[in-house]
Amino acid sequence: MGTCSCSTQTEQDCSNVSQSDNTKEKTFSILLKHWQSSLSFIMLAAGLAADFWSGFSWFTDSVRLFWYSAAYIPVGLPVLRQAWVHLRKGEFFTEFFLMGIATIGAFYIGEYPEGVAVMLFYSIGEAFQHNAVSRAKNNIKALLDVRPESAHVKRDTEFTTVHPGQVAVGEIIRVKPGERVPLDGELLSERAAFDTSAITGESKPRHINGNEQVLAGMINLNRVIELRTTRLYENSSISRILDMVQNATKKKARTELFIRSFARIYTPAVVFLAVLLVVLPVLFVTPYVFEDWLYRGLVFLVISCPCALVISIPLGYFGGIGAASRNGILVKGGNYLDALKSVDTVIFDKTGTLTKGSFAVQSVHSNNGDVNRMLSVLRSVEQNSIHPVARAILDFTENGIKNDHLEILTVSNQKEIPGFGIYASVEGRDVIIGSRSLMEKENVAIQNGFKTDEKGSIVHVAIDGVHYGYLIISDELKEDAKRSVKRLKESGVKRTVMLSGDRDEIAQRTGKELQMDYVFGDLLPEDKAEKLVDFKKRFPGTVAYAGDGINDAPVLALSDVGIAMGALGSDVAIESADVVIQTDQPSKIATAIEIGKSTRTIVWQNIGMAMGIKILFLTLGALGIATLWEAVFADVGVALLAILNAVRIQKMKFA
């Protein structure tokens, strides 16, 4: 590294010198890493200069053979070694075998420079391909691998810094301003602001209130906060997300699988054609010159190498998965990217997907006027539930508990039925809390005066088989819910459907506001599954389902593409889904579809470009027009063009 004195040069001059030194270091590092290619290139260039410079009379045939052999060895031996390894496994038709035969053949007919050039540029192309694939994988990992290596945990009366893996569930940790949250936890401080971009892709700060969930990977923005951990380090949200994305590359799209199968047939076929190209002309061509036809066969082999297809297509899917991750969308495999591009029908769950899922109690109605007794029963039963409605009831009754207006009663034999409600025994009395359907199922007569025109969901309460009263609980649409439906239509989705367990009149009102094509309410989890199966039978094409709750897991699994809302969604839904929207924004579904379509377009561009150019040059090679130099372009050049096209998706911007 060079140095400069800022007393004699400006700070800008120092910066320029430092940047120049960094550039030199990087250049030297690249040359050192690829010393074989660098050495071969220098020797090839020197050999070509000696060939075309009349003053080098000492550069005789024997010297030329020695010189070009020495230039060939650094880049040729690794490839020949790989060819031998594959040959021992019975894999004859690999790109290593093709390049080995082609370059050794070139030496056999005296085309030493071309033999070295083919192997040199093949090695350079392979290095570019390897670096491009590694960069794509690392970019995906870097987007999410932001897990802190330390946590400040309270042990006895002091905070000790330990690895997050050493923190148990229920311990209290402290996070300073600017630090990443190391573990999922419940916020003990009153309120805090977080940068959630590592998880959601959104740069807008998110404000979280006390007792709400904070996820590992978020950055604390304003003041020292404390959390009570709710998950172990290895089970934290960011760890699970990272694992999902890393495993995504293992799930291949049908195009990838087809190209791999195609290459297994294509490569031996072109080797056979190359052999025919060398030997058949002896029957038809006079005079037959073996070296000339061998040269054409070698050109044919070099051109036919399927590297551009085999490398650039997976790279296109890596790029698509990375682009989705940057937008807060986790796609669990290239096969789901392929499926997204052909989605014709999107079916939404309502609560937590199109609405915020943050319910609030609007009104309370008791048949005998004893509102406090009904609320005490509700509070006592719902405090053990994780349903959003339960949270709304607990929030509503909080002041009553603090001011001793309400009491906590003894609850036993509690049983929650998803989509229906809760059964429980409260101080010896049978209590049922839930929907009208549950009341009808248990033959509970709804009392007169029950209003059905109020806007919101209705939670009924029955004690010892008698209707005691009900609550009106409402939810509101997410800010981008309307825009999400509009964008889906613009992106080519033909049908939008909403399924809800809410009253049908509420579902219809919400669906009309969102301009949904089909709306169904009063549905149980099994009813949603039946509706999805019905839509798959009625309409051709791919059906996607978007949901967030435990009761959505079966429907997510049944759909062609299951989409889960990741921030508020349940663990079961996230695990069952194929795509996870980390921002909880339904409009991201349209973004995912756009990324799927862009990825597919780029992949087929690469296939068309690679096959088109190869067929052209194979024809030219067979006719004796193309040389090994053109063959290098048709192989390595096309592979590099395909790689550049594949990584283009990582630079694209999506709405």
Average pLDDT of every residue of the chain:
80
Pick the CATH number of 360-474 from 3.40.1110.10, 2.30.30.100, 2.60.130.10, 3.40.640.10: 3.40.1110.10
Selecting among 349, 480, 502, 578, the annotated active-site residue is 349
- 147 vs 516: which has the higher pLDDT: 516
pLDDT at position 228: 93
User: What residue ranges do the domains of the chain occupy?
Assistant: 151-235, 329-356+477-595, 360-474
pLDDT at position 579: 87
User: What confidence tier does 518 reach under pLDDT thresholds 50, 70, 90?
Assistant: very high
Question: Is residue 21 pLDDT above 60, yes or no?
Answer: no
List, in order, residues 6 or more apart from 619 with CB less than 8 Å away. Answer: none
Cα first-last separation, the chain: 44
Q: Alpha-carbon distance 477 to 348, whole Å? A: 13
Whole-number Cα distances in Å, 621 to 119, 298, 614: 18, 9, 10
Written as six digits, the tokens of 427 are: 């101080």
The domain made up of 151-235 is a member of CATH 2.70.150.10: yes
Judge contact between 485 and 464, C-beta under 8 A: no
**Three-class DSSP category at 207:** strand
pLDDT at position 170: 92
Most confident stretch, 201-215, 251-265, 545-559, 584-598: 584-598
Q: Could you confirm whether 21 is annotated as catalytic?
A: no
Span 190-207, mean pLDDT? Answer: 71
What is the DSSP annotation of 392-458?
HHHHHHHHHHHTTSS-PPPEEEEEEETTTEEEEEETTEEEEEE-HHHHHHTTPPPPTT--S-SSSEE
pTM tops 0.85: no
Written as six digits, the tokens of 97 are: 């075998």
247: left (phi over 0), alpha (psi -120 to 50) or beta: alpha
Judge contact between 104 and 115, C-beta under 8 A: yes
For 50-77, the pLDDT digits (tens) are 888 866 777 888 888 999 999 999 988 9
**What is the share, in percent, of the chain residues with pLDDT greater than 70?**
81
User: What confidence tier does 18 reach under pLDDT thresholds 50, 70, 90?
Assistant: very low
Question: Is residue 180 pLDDT above 90, yes or no?
Answer: no
Sign of the C-alpha dihedral computed for residues 526, 574, 249 and 88 taken in this order:
negative
Pick from 469, 418, 419, 462: nearest CA to 442: 462
pLDDT at position 550: 60
β-strands 172-175, 151-155: how paired?
antiparallel
Question: Is residue 29 pLDDT above 70, yes or no?
Answer: no
List, in order, residues 6 or more apart from 371 with CB less than 8 Å away. Answer: 364, 469
For 383-410, the pLDDT digits (tens) are 877 777 888 888 888 877 777 788 889 9
Pick the CATH number of 329-356+477-595 from 3.30.1360.200, 3.40.50.1000, 3.30.1360.70, 3.80.10.10: 3.40.50.1000
Most confident stretch, 495-499, 548-552, 574-578: 495-499
pLDDT at position 400: 78
Question: Is residue 22 pLDDT above 60, yes or no?
Answer: no
Question: Is residue 438 pLDDT above 70, yes or no?
Answer: yes
**What is the share, in percent, of the chain residues with pLDDT greater than 90?**
17
pLDDT at position 10: 39
For 84-124, the pLDDT digits (tens) are 988 888 877 777 877 788 788 888 888 888 888 878 877 77
Pick from 155, 161, 160, 164: nearest CA to 185: 164
pLDDT at position 250: 57
Whole-number Cα distances in Å, 185 to 146, 173, 195, 211: 17, 9, 16, 9
Question: Is residue 142 pLDDT above 60, yes or no?
Answer: no
For 280-327, the pLDDT digits (tens) are 898 888 888 888 888 888 888 777 777 666 667 777 887 888 788 778
Q: Alpha-carbon distance 64 to 68, whole Å? A: 6
Written as six digits, the tokens of 115 are: 């033999």
Number of H helices, E strands in the chain: 22, 22
Q: Alpha-carbon distance 63 to 69, whole Å? A: 10
Question: Is residue 576 pLDDT above 80, yes or no?
Answer: no
User: What confidence tier does 483 reach under pLDDT thresholds 50, 70, 90?
Assistant: very high
Judge contact between 446 and 459, C-beta under 8 A: no
User: What confidence tier does 17 reach under pLDDT thresholds 50, 70, 90?
Assistant: very low
pLDDT at position 26: 46
Q: Alpha-carbon distance 338 to 332, whole Å? A: 11
Residue 287 preceded by cis peptide, ω within 30:
yes
Q: Name the DSSP class of 501.
A: S
pLDDT at position 79: 85
For 337-358, the pLDDT digits (tens) are 888 988 999 999 888 788 877 7
For 459-482, the pLDDT digits (tens) are 899 999 999 999 888 777 888 899
User: What confidence tier does 571 reach under pLDDT thresholds 50, 70, 90?
Assistant: low
Question: Is residue 642 pLDDT above 90, yes or no?
Answer: no
Span 132-145, mean pLDDT? Answer: 58
Whole-number Cα distances in Å, 542 to 273, 394, 525, 535, 538: 41, 41, 21, 10, 12
Written as six digits, the tokens of 155 are: 């042990």
Judge contact between 611 and 352, C-beta under 8 A: no
Pick from 475, 454, 461, 463: nearest CA to 392: 475
